[in-house]
Amino acid sequence: MNKNTLIGSLLIAIIMIWWMSTMPKHKPAPVVPEKTVEKESSTSSLQLPSLDSNAPSLVASTPDLAPTEISVVSDLTDSSIGAESPEAPVQKPIVEQSVSVETDLFTVKLSNRGAKISSIVVKTLADEDGEFPELVEDTAAGLMELKLDKIHLGGVLFALDSKTPEKILVAQDTTVEFVYTDPNQNKVIRSYQFSKTGSKIKQSNRFEGFSPNDYELYWNGGMRETEAFPKGKNIGGNYFFSEVVFNNTYSVERKTVQEKTKFNVNEGKLLWAGLRRKYIAMTIEFPEASEATLIAEPLKGSKADRNPGTYTLAISDYLKGSSTVDFDFQVLPLEWSRIKSLDKSYEKIIVSGWQWIGADTWFVALCGLLLSLLKVFYGIIPNYGVAIILLTILVRLLTTPLTIKQLRSTKEMGKLKPELDAINIKYRSEPQKKQAAIMELYAKNNINPMASCTGGCLPMLLQFPIFIGLFITLGRAIELRGMPFIGWISDLSKSDVIWSGISIPFIMPSGLSILPIVMVITTYFQTKQSMASMTDPAQRKMMTWMMPGMMFVFSAVMPSGLVLYWIVSNLWGIGQYAIINKNKDCAAPLSKNMANASVKDAKIVKPKKKKKSN
């Protein structure tokens, strides 16, 4: 190669290098937003194959919103999905974020992962430090996750408008909206609407571009107890509740389950379903009666020493071609008058009754009446301890005529007992003669056995629902929470512990209480009075001690308001019995021969043996 050729080759190489360095570089295809969503979905192993892949791409649009609503429209919809034009803007990936919404009743945290509720802090039931309780047991699991057909959206990141603030203080009706868009522009739009003072969160789900066949709504986070559990173990009940509650149009059911259980499978329609703790409930309410199936299962790890644990819920149903599915999520502190005003039978979460005798109607109404009277007395004298005393006296005063009739009937029959014993022994082998002799004794002393039985049993049966109603109402009333009475009784919803340094294992594990001891003493004297007519000394002694002993075991963990009611009722019964038995002539006149009746005077008549025939 000569010199000129070499110089020419170098010049050509330099020109080629310069030309290649000055050429515009090839730009890579822009990142497709839907691919980003797919990447997020793949991290949680979630896709949407059930969405119609042949559906036309949806044109992005901004819905008309009310002035007070927060418009949350996905930024993903502003570009053509799948376009690889170099002019297409690069979209930012969706990141996990949350929104805190505060009303007068609660503060709710919404997460865009699954567009679910992750936290609910209710603005009532504050603890001793003034802190409000968290109601969701497992905030990571949360509630209101959605599954469409076989695709679970719980792990999918929904888009949230960048203009949505992290904290919202609700002054008027406010809506927060989440949007998920698949590669074919099919959308799942989930929105939550809040009001300033209401207990309801309106939850709406809309589907654009496809129609799912069925849905499942998950409540995986359970429900946490708001109250502190008593220390130590005890034999009696702890007056705490953890129940699955639902209204199937036939009745309101309160269930505890030990394993995965299905409800409303074959009959009935759900009006609402949820979870209940001692003083509060949360429910998912349907806009109309639904044939949905409810599945409840114990939440693993939630059950502890005194904590009965909580449950997960799943609600599933067919959509039947609908493009929307809506719910109302209710947060319900169990204050009778407030939840009854909702007209959804929520008061039956507090107390229910046997449906076969209609107690789910009349007994519930009775408990509501007793609680209303308690609040009336509290309005007159603002002390719930005094209100309990006045209510107990009123109830015992109203039932006094029935009690007097019962005591007199018992006394009359008691005076006949010596002669009845003599007849039973004399004719023990001849039932017909014994029955005739007993009826003759009744006629001689002007006693109608049927009327006596009715007079003795009926008053007791009529009083029983009232006393049970008081017992249940005072043990569950949220109105007594944190309410003092006198001195050491600072909270009528708890036991009146005066010294935690002394405790009785299984009976008074939290410490020494005074009211249970007073109740045991008054129960002993009242039982002794009522058992005085028993002729068998051993049986009388056993009954006299058995009732006080049982009450001592159970009363130490009772709310002190309930123990106070029992003490006042005992004192009233002791005084009533003493006054009635001062009148020696209250019973009907008896035969003169009765005083001389004795078992020893009665001869035992044996039936004659028949001769055997050959």
Q: Is 62 exposed, middle or buried (0-12, 13-18, 19+ CB in 10 A)?
A: exposed
Check whether 60 has a pLDDT greater than 70.
no
Residue 169 has pLDDT above 90, yes or no: yes
CA pair distance 275, 258, nearest whole angstrom: 15
Tokens of 366: 């009775």
**Tens digit of each residue's pLDDT (9 = 90 or more) over 211-238:** 999 999 999 999 999 998 877 666 655 6
> What would the mean pLDDT of 129-146 be, rounded to a whole number?
96
- Model pLDDT, residue 80: 31
Per-residue pLDDT band for 243 (boundaries 50, 70, 90) equals: very high
DSSP letter (8 states) at residue 113: B
For the CA atoms of 518, 522, 523, 529, the dihedral, rounded to the nearest 10 degrees, stands at: 170
Looking at residues 458-486, what average pLDDT do you find? Answer: 86
User: Under DSSP, is residue 8 helix (H, G, I), strand (E, B) or coil?
Assistant: helix
The answer as to whether 494 is a domain residue is no
Which of 192-206, 464-478, 542-556 is predicted least confidently?
A: 542-556
Mean pLDDT of the chain: 79
Q: Give yes or no for a contact between 473 and 370, defined as CB atoms under 8 angstroms apart.
A: yes
Residue 452 scores a pLDDT above 70: no
**Higher per-residue confidence, 73 vs 483:** 483
What's the pLDDT at 586? Answer: 42
SS (H, E, C) 124-175: CCCCCCCCCCECCCCCCCCECEEEECCEECCCCECECCCCCCCEEECCCCEE
Residue 504 structure tokens:
């009785």
Residue 472 and residue 365 in one domain: yes
**pLDDT on residue 598:** 47
CA nearest 37: which of 153, 206, 134? 153
Say whether both 245 and 272 belong to one domain.
yes
pLDDT at 209: 93
496 secondary structure, DSSP code: -
Averaged pLDDT for residues 58-78: 34
Asked if 124 and 245 sit in the same domain, the reply is yes
Give the side-chain half-sphere CA count within 13 A for 294.
28
The closest alpha carbon to 134, from 282, 307, 272, belongs to 282
The domain boundary, picked from 323, 350, 377, lies at 350
The residue count of the chain comes to 614
Residue 367 and residue 286 in one domain? no
Residue 519 within any structural domain of the chain? no
Residues paired with residue 58 on neighbouring β-strands, in sequence order: none
Q: Which amino acid is at 144?
A: M
Task: Decide: helix, strand or coil at residue 546.
Answer: helix
Reduce the DSSP state of residue 117 to 3 states and report it: strand
Look at the alpha carbons of 127, 132, 137, 139 in this order and tell me if their dihedral is positive or negative: negative
**Quick one: average pLDDT of 99-119?**
97
364 and 344 assigned to the same domain = no
Kindly report which listed range (99-103, 153-157, 235-239) carries the lowest average pLDDT score.
235-239
Percent of the chain with pLDDT over 90: 48
Would the pLDDT of 388 be above 90? yes
15-29, 173-187, 216-230: the lowest-pLDDT one: 15-29
**301 and 385 housed in the same domain:** no
Q: How high is the pLDDT of residue 551?
A: 81
Residue 6 lies in a domain: no
247 & 360 share domain: no
Domain contains 282: yes
CA 49 distance to own-chain centroid: 39
Task: Read off the pLDDT of residues 250-285 as tens digits, 9 standing for 90 and up.
Answer: 999 999 999 999 999 888 899 999 999 999 999 999
Q: Which of 65-69, 296-300, 361-365 has the lowest mean pLDDT?
A: 65-69
14 against 289, higher pLDDT: 289
Write down the residue that tokens 């004298």 correspond to. 381
Average pLDDT (566-586) is 80
Q: Are 177 and 299 in contact (CB under 8 A)?
A: no
Task: Give a yes or no: residue 163 inside a domain.
Answer: yes
Nearest to 475 by CA among 357, 578, 558: 558
pLDDT, average across residues 170-199? 94
Q: What is the pLDDT of residues 410-450, one digit of tens each?
A: 677 777 778 878 888 888 888 888 888 888 887 887 776 66
Statement to judge: residues 159 and 73 lie in one domain: yes
> Which stretch of 129-133, 192-196, 477-481, 610-614 has the lowest confidence by average pLDDT?
610-614
Predicted pLDDT at 168: 96
Q: In this structure, is the dihedral angle defined by the CA atoms of residues 414, 420, 421 and 422, taken in order, positive or negative?
A: positive
Tell whether 367 and 403 lie within a shared domain: yes
Mean pLDDT of 443-466: 68
pLDDT value at residue 234: 66
Q: How many domains does the chain have?
A: 2
Rounded to an integer, what distance in angstroms lies between the CA atom of residue 216 and that of residue 559? 40
Q: Is residue 450 part of a domain?
A: yes
* H or E, element range at 577: helix 560-580
pLDDT above 80: residue 57? no
**What is the strand order of the sheet 293-298 is part of?**
151-152, 145-148, 214-219, 311-318, 293-298, 261-263
CATH, residue 191: 2.70.98.90
Range name among 104-118, 154-168, 526-540 with the lowest pLDDT average: 526-540
Statement: residue 376 has pLDDT above 50:
yes
**Taken in order 513, 517, 522, 527, is the CA torsion positive or negative?**
positive
Q: Is the pLDDT of residue 612 over 70?
A: no
Residue 386: its pLDDT value, please?
97
Domain-located, residue 596 = no
The 10s digit of each residue's pLDDT in 395-409 is 989 888 877 777 777
Task: Note the pLDDT of residue 460.
Answer: 65
What are the E-state strand segments in 50-131? 98-102, 106-111, 116-122
Of 603 and 232, the structure prediction assigns the larger pLDDT to 232
Residues 200 and 292 in one domain: yes
pLDDT at 599 over 70: no
Give the per-residue pLDDT at 455. 53
Please give the Cα distance from 501 to 397 (Å, whole number): 40
Question: What is the Cα–Cα distance from 350 to 357, expressed in whole angstroms?
Answer: 19
Does residue 379 sit in the same domain as residue 475?
yes
Place of tokens 């999520």: 329
562-577 mean pLDDT: 91
User: Would 324 be classed as within a structural domain?
Assistant: yes
- State the pTM of this model: 0.76
Q: Which residues form the domain of 71? A: 33-227+241-350
Residue 113, number of CB atoms within 10 A of its CB: 22
- Single out the residue in 313, 334, 350 at which a domain terminates: 350
Point out the domain boundary residue: 437, 453, 482: 482
Reported as a pLDDT band with limits 50, 70 and 90, residue 600 is very low
Is there a single domain that holds both residue 342 and residue 364?
Answer: no
Which is more confidently placed, 206 or 435?
206
